Amino acid sequence: MKQFNKIQLLAVTLLVVGTLFFNGCKSTKQGAISKEENKARTDYFERLHTTAFRYETLEARVQVILNLPNKNVKSRAQLKLVKDEALQLSIQPFLGIEMFRLELTLDSIVVIDRINKRYVAESLAALQGTLPIDFNFYNLQSLFTNQLFLPGESEITPKQYKQFVFSEVNNQAILKVSDRSKLNYVFHTDVNQKLTQTKLSDNSGRFQLLWDYTNFENVDTQLFPTTMQLNALNNATSVGEITLNYSRMELNKPIQLKSNIPSRYRQITFAEILKMISKK
């Protein structure tokens, strides 16, 4: 049981760190473009906006598959998301019994480890001084819901379309943007104007995070990728991979996300969790 719990901790940490390590700097502007290029860009972004997945709340069962060098584990989970407010991932490997919970809001993170009766509750602002990363809730929300995003922004306005390097072939497009700290974001879309991959990398290209979207199905008449695969690469070698298989999705129903932490649980810091994992 202890070994399984360590893997759960690593899985959740990889999700958090892997999807949120890029900072919230404003994106850099691209060079001047022609009127024709600007029209093609604007038209495509408008089609992306029209076909974007729409919801106010989302709840789903998720099968989480973690693949690490020499280690593999599967677990059931419950994902709950209130748009622009909070995201909760509950790890429930046995008979719906929660063993681990991750909850993110616009300004805080709560992690509950029910096996070891301990928890983390910190502001995202405080974590910026502890970890070499900056957190942005909106970017994470976009990754989980197959959305295009700008680093550090809560939405994309028409005036911001020009910040992307845009190329289109046969109604498929590649959209690129970089922030001031030289972190790169590449979004691939298909003929249905749906994201098929979001790639994040440092300026050297040594570290890459790939978030792939497959198995698109109709959810309340909207196409949604029911399989998402997160792969962290270091020098083209995978250091960890997580697959999320969505099922039983429900949209726009009331959701309660408040986490009640038992008084007997011991509080620790997020840095302590990462230190413990790094030793393993």
Give the pLDDT of the chain (280 residues) as one tens digit per residue.
444 434 344 444 554 444 443 333 444 455 556 777 778 788 888 888 889 999 999 999 999 998 877 778 888 999 999 999 999 999 888 777 888 899 999 888 898 989 899 998 988 777 665 554 444 788 889 999 999 998 888 888 888 888 898 888 887 899 999 877 677 899 999 988 899 999 988 777 788 889 999 999 999 999 999 999 999 888 888 888 999 999 999 999 999 887 789 999 999 987 777 676 555 5
Say what the pLDDT of residue 220 is: 92
Using left for φ > 0, alpha for ψ between -120 and 50, and beta otherwise, residue 84 falls in left
> What are the Cα distances from residue 208, in Å, to 31, 216, 230?
25, 24, 10
Encoded amino acid at 46, one letter: E
**How many CB atoms within 10 Å of residue 270?**
19
Q: Which residues contact 169 (CB under 8 A, 6 or more apart)?
A: none
Count of helices and strands (H, E) across the chain = 5, 14
What are the φ/ψ torsions at residue 260 (nearest 5 degrees)? -95, 120
| CATH number of the domain bearing residue 127 | 2.50.20.10
CA angle 98, 104, 110 (to 5 degrees): 60
Say what the pLDDT of residue 247 is: 95
- Of 31, 18, 24, 47, whose CA–CA distance to 244 is shortest? 18
Q: Is the dihedral of CA 124, 125, 126, 130 positive or negative?
A: positive
| Tokens encoding 118 | 């301990």
**Spatial distance between the Cα atoms of 125 and 133, rounded to a whole number of angstroms:** 11
Number of domains in the chain: 1
Domain hosting 13: range is 2-279
Radius of gyration, CA atoms only, the chain: 19
Helix (H) or strand (E) holding 200: strand 195-201
Whole-model pTM: value is 0.83
